[in-house]
Amino acid sequence: MHDEHDIILIDKPKGITSFDVIRQLRKKLQIRKMGHAGTLDPLASGLMIIGVESGTKKLDTYLQLPKVYYAEILLGKKSDSGDLDGTIIERTPVREPLHDRDIEQALDQLRGTHTYSVPVYSAIKVDGKPLYWYARKGITPPRIPVKEMTVTEVSLLDSYASDAYWIIKVRFAVSRGTYIRVLAEAVGAALGYPALLANLRRTQIGPYNIAHAQHIEEIWYTQDITRISNTHHMIHTQWENLTINIKATDIELTDPIRDYIENKVTRLGKFLQSQGGDIFVYFEIAETAHRNNEETYRADCKVVLRGKDFYASATGPDYMKAIDEVKEKLYHTIHQSKGKEASLFLKGARALKKLFRFNNQDS
């Protein structure tokens, strides 16, 4: 697992742009200085390296790293963008079954370094404008640049008929700047069919692996006891089936304060751990500006057990009162829940009420 405090590994979902990831993280972390080391199209999912604060200075280094992709290629269709997001411009049904040995021979032709034309829907600039600008306006660009792309490893994972077409699943290890859409079309050409990229997932960038990435919705609880910026402190604790993540914003985490918050939240998690299943406790405490310029604190707590979420939020004049209030709200949320989980959580909710008592005897 990576231990660099100024980068975040994100598992991007399908359907959003790479900049959407940055936009959401800026809002969650309240950090403006942020960038990424390599775009993923909306069609694609998988690993993104996000540089935060000083980490943005290292993004060009990450851009040079090789990458690993898992691709799904659809034989028999061609689109103007090279993937399913584009307009289909050619259809040729695959009427004869394809044999794996023929597909593997076509894949073998991709190994090494070859020169390909870049996709017309790409950010490569021609006369000061990205190629996608010409494509979206229906204008033929002055020229289509070519570039070298290197495939270091390629392996066939699966192939099968899909209606009148054929699906090929492939693992690619490639150099920087390699367009998998282009490789998909090249595979099709070698087999005598039009082709497009139907699905894509990036799983590795250099030494960074998707196994260590987080989903965007988890990201306000990230990294081991460190500072992502001057105002964000993170505490991460993990046992066999219990994960606790605590974030403190604009609060100086002195040892007594940190120990106090961590102790209360950990005791909650430890109790819920006895209920079985995987448990996640996400907790955030933040100092905010009151409208009368008085300090106030906001506490958020979410408990996830067996896939069900319980969430509460509250404010108070100091961080202990804010936690006390969020405890009460979380208790009522759990108590009023419906379904078979309600009885399971009820005992935990009562314990939660005890765990967050704030008197000198409860330490």
One domain, residues 251 and 269? yes
Instruction: Please list, in sequence order, all residues whose beta carbon lies within 8 angstroms of the beta carbon of residue 160, skipping any fewer than 6 positions away.
Output: 166, 167
Domain boundary among 179, 205, 231: 205
One domain, residues 308 and 233? yes
In angstroms, rounded to a whole number, what is the distance separating the alpha carbons of residues 291 and 21? 31
Domain boundary among 212, 228, 262: 212
What whole-number percentage of the chain has pLDDT above 70? 64
What integer pLDDT is reported at residue 232 of this predicted model? Answer: 46
In angstroms, rounded to a whole number, what is the distance separating the alpha carbons of residues 45 and 17? 10
Domain boundary among 177, 205, 233: 205
Closest CA to 137 of 125, 126, 121, 148: 121
What integer pLDDT is reported at residue 278 of this predicted model? Answer: 62
Counting the structural domains of the chain, the total is 3
DSSP string, 64-89: TS-EEEEEEEEETEEESSSBTTS-EE
| Domain housing 338 | 220-355
One domain, residues 60 and 71? no
Residue 34: which H helix or E strand, with range? Answer: strand 34-36
One domain, residues 302 and 330? yes
Tell me which of 6, 11, 41, 300 is the catalytic residue.
Answer: 41
One domain, residues 186 and 276? no
In angstroms, rounded to a whole number, what is the distance separating the alpha carbons of residues 272 and 244? 11
286 domain residue, yes or no: yes
Min mean pLDDT across 83-87, 103-107, 201-205, 328-332 is at: 328-332
What integer pLDDT is reported at residue 66 of this predicted model? Answer: 93
Structure tokens at 202: 């990036």
CATH of residue 292? 3.30.160.100
One domain, residues 87 and 136? yes
Which of 136-150, 255-269, 278-292, 323-337 tops mean pLDDT? 136-150
> 281-326, pLDDT tens digit by residue?
666 776 665 444 455 677 777 766 556 666 677 777 766 777 767 6
> 112-133, pLDDT tens digit by residue?
999 998 888 887 888 888 888 8
> 78-93, pLDDT tens digit by residue?
998 888 888 899 999 9
One domain, residues 348 and 227? yes
**Helical segments of the chain, H only:** 18-29, 59-63, 100-108, 131-137, 180-191, 255-273, 319-335, 341-355
For the chain, what is the radius of gyration of the CA atoms? 25
One domain, residues 224 and 265? yes
One domain, residues 135 and 40? no
pLDDT at 106 over 80: yes
One domain, residues 346 and 235? yes
What integer pLDDT is reported at residue 19 of this predicted model? Answer: 86
CATH of residue 89? 3.30.2350.10
User: Burial of 363 by CB count in 10 Å (0-12 exposed, 13-18 middle, 19+ buried)?
Assistant: exposed
One domain, residues 109 and 190? yes
24 domain residue, yes or no: yes
- Cβ pair 149, 114 in contact under 8 A: yes
> 203-237, pLDDT tens digit by residue?
999 998 888 888 887 665 333 323 333 344 555 55
1 domain residue, yes or no: no
DSSP string, 97-151: PPPHHHHHHHHHTT-EEEEEEPPSSSS-EETTEEHHHHHHHTPPPS---EEEEEE
b/e map of 42-70 (b: 16 or more CB within 10 Å)? Answer: ebbbbbbbbbbbebbebbeebeebebbbb
What integer pLDDT is reported at residue 242 of this predicted model? Answer: 63
Q: Which residue has the higher pLDDT, 57 or 197?
A: 197
One domain, residues 236 and 323? yes
361 domain residue, yes or no: no
362 domain residue, yes or no: no
35 domain residue, yes or no: yes
In angstroms, rounded to a whole number, what is the distance separating the alpha carbons of residues 35 and 58? 10
323 domain residue, yes or no: yes
> 8-55, pLDDT tens digit by residue?
888 898 888 888 888 888 877 777 788 888 888 888 999 999 888 888
2 domain residue, yes or no: no
In angstroms, rounded to a whole number, what is the distance separating the alpha carbons of residues 111 and 131? 27
Mean pLDDT, the chain, whole residue set? 76
- Catalytic residue list contains 60: no
